[in-house]
Each structure stands twice: as structure tokens, then as C-alpha cells.
Amino acid sequence: MSADAPKFDGPNSLVTAVVQDAATGNVLMLAHMNRAAWEETVASGYAVFFSRSRQRLWRKGETSGHVQKVREMYVDCDGDAVLLKVDQTGAACHEGFESCFFRRLDHGKWRVIAERLVDPATIYPKANEADA
Amino acid sequence: MSADAPKFDGPNSLVTAVVQDAATGNVLMLAHMNRAAWEETVASGYAVFFSRSRQRLWRKGETSGHVQKVREMYVDCDGDAVLLKVDQTGAACHEGFESCFFRRLDHGKWRVIAERLVDPATIYPKANEADA
């Protein structure tokens, strides 16, 4: 990988990953990647992150089936963020919405502006499952 | 602000901000906000971040004139990220590109896929200016 690649200073160094729907341009979610997550994403063609709460690789969709097939990968100017354009199966958000950004500020109040695609209770075995 | 607002645990607590062009859907950049940056953004209608390198508020465009007029603001499911849809004046990236994500992975190599809109030397008084 060239010097322009994401900057991983060590195995636990993280970059931020923005995930965008390749077809609609909707921003779906933010997550993090360590070097292993990045390399597995490149090799497999499916989004793999590093879960900070679980401190392990998080193969997006491993529980829910809501995988992200990666179409394009970008890195930002200073190498601490990447952008993935993906084909999203199901819902990106563990709350069952297409996107984690389902609340918009509307005259000083937060308003849910999307419909829930999936009932989280039907896909996650444990309550309060943080990763999807 | 409701309980659904971005989570700022203290004045120095940061959330990640994704900035997207309101018209094209292009992801322009990632930055961070503390509570003061968030509140000033809401109040002024222009993007204000917290610069981690300078440890102070960063009114986007304060040096370059490349301001971001905020059209819509979203918060994510767990409150640690926000999404701003903006009208970008000039170039979001301090390197003079519309977006900081101007390099795409192409068969294992990074390739610049955008044209530079602005010569950074013409807008920043100091070399290696990190913030734009």
C-alpha cells in the first residue's frame, strides 16, 4: 500500500470509516477500522470494522446478515479517515433504520425522518446489542 | 436540546461530524465538534468545528473563505456522530479539492480522482496550514 494509505501507527491505531450507500449517496453510518479491519475489507470486498466496545474485529452483518458489499474505497487528505461506498443489504443501523442518521434537527427539535425497515428484536439475539 | 442530541459529556467531549454536500451528496470531510462548536453551528447556520490540533474553535472558512452554509443537521443512533448537509463555498479540503476524499483505491493503488479547484498557496498565509 502506498504512503497515501490510511495511517495506522500500530495494530490498535484506528481510522474513522464513513459508509455511504453507493446508489443513493445516503450516509449510512460511521465506524472505525484498525489495520486488520482495513486489510480484510480490501481482501474480502465486504466491510469489516474494529468494534471499540468489543475490542475485536466486527464483520458488519455477522449477526444481522446486513452486510455491506464494498464498491469503492477512498482515503482522506491526512489519512485518518476512509470512505466506503457500499451496497447495503437490509439496514445499516442496529436500530433497524437504513441509516444511523435517522434524526434531523427541525426547528430546535429532533425528529425521526425515516421509517424503520427492520425490527431489531427479530435479528439480534441479545437486547442492547451494540454492533450490527 | 432533547436527550437525543449529540452526547457531550463535558466541554472537551467531542463528536465526529461528517460533512456532505447538500446538492450532490458528495462526502466532503470529517471533523470534530465540542458542545460550543455544535451550539455555534446551530445558532449561526455555518459549520463550526473544534480543531484538535489547535485546541480551539475552528470556524470553517475563517482563513480560506470556504464556508459551509448548513442546510440540514442529523444525529446518529448513539449520539456520537452528526451529519451536516451543507452548501460548500469553494473547496472543503485544505489541499484545494472539493472533498478531502479525493483518492480512490484502484486495483491496489491510490489514485487521485478529482481535480484541484483551488491552489492552497493562494488562500493560506502559512505553509502546512492544517485547518481550512
B86-125: pLDDT as tens digits: 999 999 999 999 999 999 999 999 999 999 999 998 877 6
Answer whether B72 touches A (CB < 8 Å).
yes
Quick one: which H or E segment has residue A37? helix A35-44
Tell whether B103 is covered by a domain: no
CATH number at residue B60: 3.10.20.810
Tell whether B41 is covered by a domain: yes
Tell whether B124 is covered by a domain: no
User: Does residue B131 carry a pLDDT above 60?
Assistant: no
Sort out which chain B residues have CB atoms less than 8 A from A20's CB and list them. 27
Tell whether A4 is covered by a domain: no
The C-alpha atoms of residue B105 and residue A5 are separated, in whole angstroms, by: 9
Tell whether A5 is covered by a domain: no
Q: Categorize the per-residue pLDDT at B4 as very low, low, confident or very high, splitting at 50, 70 and 90.
A: low
The C-alpha atoms of residue B124 and residue B21 are separated, in whole angstroms, by: 23
The C-alpha atoms of residue A1 and residue A21 are separated, in whole angstroms, by: 25
Phi-psi region of A39 (alpha: psi -120 to 50; beta: other; left: phi over 0): alpha
Sign of CA dihedral B20, B76, A29, A52: positive
Answer whether B53 touches A (CB < 8 Å).
no
Tell whether A26 is covered by a domain: yes
Residue where the block lists cell 450507500: A21
Number of domains chain B is built from:
1
pTM: 0.92
Taking the CA of residue B29 and the nearest CA in chain A, the distance in Å comes to 8
Domain that residue A62 falls in:
15-122
The C-alpha atoms of residue A14 and residue B29 are separated, in whole angstroms, by: 17
Residue contacts between A and B (CB atoms, under 8 Å): 92
Residue of A20, A75, A86, A105 for testing the chain B interface, max B β-carbons within 10 Å:
A105
